[in-house]
Amino acid sequence: KLNIGVDTIQHGVEGLSYLLTESSKLMISEIDFQDSIHVLGFSDELNKLLLQLYLDNRKEIRSILSELAPKLPSYHSLEWRLDVQLASRSLRQQIKPAVTIKLHLNQNEDQTTQVLQTDPSTLLHLIQQLEQALGEMKTNHCRRIVRNIK
Amino acid sequence: ILDDPDLKDIDPTVLKHCHAAAAMCILEAGKQKADISAISTCLEDCKLDKERIEQFCTEYQKNKDALEILLGSIGRSPLHITDVSWRLDYQIKSNQLHKTYQPSYLVTLNVENSDSGSHPDVSFSCTMEQLQDLVGKLKDAAKSLERATQM
């Protein structure tokens, strides 16, 4: 339909995707983008189109690229259940409270599930430790670093 | 027991039988959480004299709690969480993506397997929001526990 050779189209598509991927990866500003493509000698109209294409698709391209970085299994969700053990084969008449937890994790498109258990005092300890972890981002130290790395 | 000098003169087979019988008796009493009177009655039926019964019961009382803890710990259960470690990172860039600027947490749940004593720890990464979700759910569980203990 376009009356151009297959090779030319392939090169065109590759060039375009390279341009957009690199620009999105580096998160370059509009001005930098415009300066970069100016060198190619296209018409002003084409340059405007390319800039618009970049800005429209930048976010999506970046989210796809973020999937490629090395990662550990990531948290998906957690379910919990309260149990009380009343007896076992080796001991009758028990009252042993326990919290059973189902941890859902994502690893590269697969969802895995782990069933774990803990006792009430460990549960409180976990909560305390993880609340401390959450609080860290609000400390002066972290705030200063976030402010200064831009 | 077989090496004890006081018991040297007794036939080792008899000794083994006695030991096994005593162990059975103690474990069964522990399992059923029997009280002293029940044990005494049982031993009386076995024609033990009063002094021996009293000695047995005193020793049993002394070790009852430890015995119950031991018996209670036998058995299968899901992997047990013993502790948690966390690490806070600030992501700057990767080779695929620059300027990411995101805090990220790495959480490791230290887990103990009652059967093999192995430590198959569970590690995962999460964002701040996800960690908040996790902590929120754990707090729900804790609140629910508190309410249950008040019933």
Looking at residue A128, its pLDDT comes to 95
Q: Widest CA span of chain B, in angstroms? A: 85
The whole-number pLDDT of residue A134 equals 92
For chain B, which ranges sit under pLDDT 50? Answer: none
Give the domain ranges of chain B.
Answer: 12-74, 81-150
φ/ψ of residue B108, rounded to 5: -120, 125
ipTM, two decimals, is: 0.74
* Tally of CB atoms within 10 A around A1: 3
8 A C-beta contact, residue A98 and residue A88: no
Structure-block tokens of residue B134: 């996790």
Q: What is the pLDDT of residue B117?
A: 64
Closest Cα of chain A to B82: distance in Å? 7
Q: Do B31 and A136 touch (CB under 8 A)?
A: no
Is residue B141 a contact partner of residue A82, using CB atoms and an 8 Å limit? yes
CA distance B119 to A68: 30
Q: pLDDT for A65-105, tens place per residue? A: 888 877 788 888 999 999 988 888 888 888 888 999 999 99
Q: Do A117 and B84 touch (CB under 8 A)?
A: no
pTM beyond 0.80: the answer is no
Please give the angle made by the CA atoms of B12, B16 and B18, to the nearest 5 degrees: 115
Residues of A in contact with B98 (CB under 8 A): 25-27
pLDDT digits (tens, 9 = 90+) for A3-46: 778 888 888 889 889 989 888 888 888 888 888 888 888 888 88
Between A118 and B56, name the one with better pLDDT: A118
What is the average pLDDT score of chain B?
84
Look at strands B79-91 and A74-85 and give their pairing.
unpaired
CB contact (8 A) between residue B86 and residue A68: no
| Token pair in block for residue B77 | 């259960």
Q: Is A49 on the interface with B (CB under 8 A)?
A: no
Under an 8 A CB cutoff, do A114 and B79 touch?
yes
Distance CA A103, CA A126 (A): 14
Q: Which residues of B touch A74 (CB under 8 A)?
A: 124-126, 130
**In terms of Cα–Cα distance, which of A20, A22, A105, A128 is closest to B142?**
A128
